[in-house]
Structure 1
Amino acid sequence: MEYDGTHYHGFQLQANSVTIQGETEKAIGKLTGERCRVMAASRTDAGVHAKGQTVSFRTGSYLPLRAFINGLNYYLPGDIAVKAAHRVEDSFDVRRNALSRD
């Protein structure tokens, strides 16, 4: 995913603050009807942007990947965008499998 972090208090969920993780989890909930916890390869601070942030979450939904991308982009604010989606093994750990953090 990519985002312009100007109007966010960083990636990580925070009480009483608008965050990228919070907006992403809300969008997933609207799309799937599930409450999912999003994990990221790396967290960003307030006001920081990302062009290649990788996130993962577990879902029972079997929506086609293109429907996930389109649906999440529909529910996400305009300054957050999902660019691709992949199904991964349950053993996948987005933080440990990250190749770089620039």
Structure 2
Amino acid sequence: MVKSTKILLIMEYDGTRYHGFQWQAGLPSIQGEVEEALERLTGERRRVMAASRTDAGVHAKGQVVGFRTGSPLPLHTFINGLNHYLPGDIAVKAAYRVGDSFNVRRDALSREY
């Protein structure tokens, strides 16, 4: 059995052509793009969770996104690989392995809008 770990991403995006962060059937979303890129990179279908959901057309700098993975890829490969598969208006700036108890929403110290 493959042990899974939690990965935290620091992301930025221009939300002009997206209907918000959260996945919506038939509409482009940041979550949808990230999950598709993650599947292409790792072969795993995973849900991602953001510290805060943005509305349609809203941009983000320093958005924190987390997910669980069984992939052994090094962190720099998550950054470079996801950026390869993501559209040019979405970017991963950093990646970290975090403990199992970490929750991107609950453990956020602040949010700025």
Same fold judged by TM-score > 0.5?
Answer: yes
Name the counterpart of 1:44. 54
Name the counterpart of 2:104. 94
Partner Cα separation in structure 1 for residue 111 and residue 19 of structure 2: 19
TM-score, normalising length: structure 2: 0.89
**SS state of the match for residue 5, structure 1?**
coil
Give 1:85's match in structure 2, choosing from 84, 87, 95: 95
Name the counterpart of 1:62. 72
Higher strand share: 2
Identity of aligned residues (%): 77
Q: Give deviations 1:21-74, integer Å, cap 9, x for gaps.
A: 000000000000000000000000000000010000000001010011000000
- Which one-letter code corresponds to 2:104 in the other structure? V
Q: How does 1:66-77 map to 2 (within 5 A)?
A: 66-77=76-87
Structure 1 spans left out of the alignment, 5+ residues: none
Structure 2 spans left out of the alignment, 5+ residues: 1-10
Deviation beyond 6 Å, 4+ runs, structure 1: none
TM-score, normalising length: structure 1: 0.99
Partner Cα separation in structure 1 for residue 105 and residue 26 of structure 2: 25
Structure with the greater relative contact order (CA < 8 A, sep ≥ 6): 1 or 2?
Answer: 2
- Equivalences, count: 102
Could you tell me how far 1:90 is from its partner in structure 2?
1.1
- Does residue 34 (structure 1) correspond to residue 44 (structure 2)? The answer is yes
Partner Cα separation in structure 1 for residue 54 and residue 17 of structure 2: 13
CA RMSD of aligned residues (A): 0.4
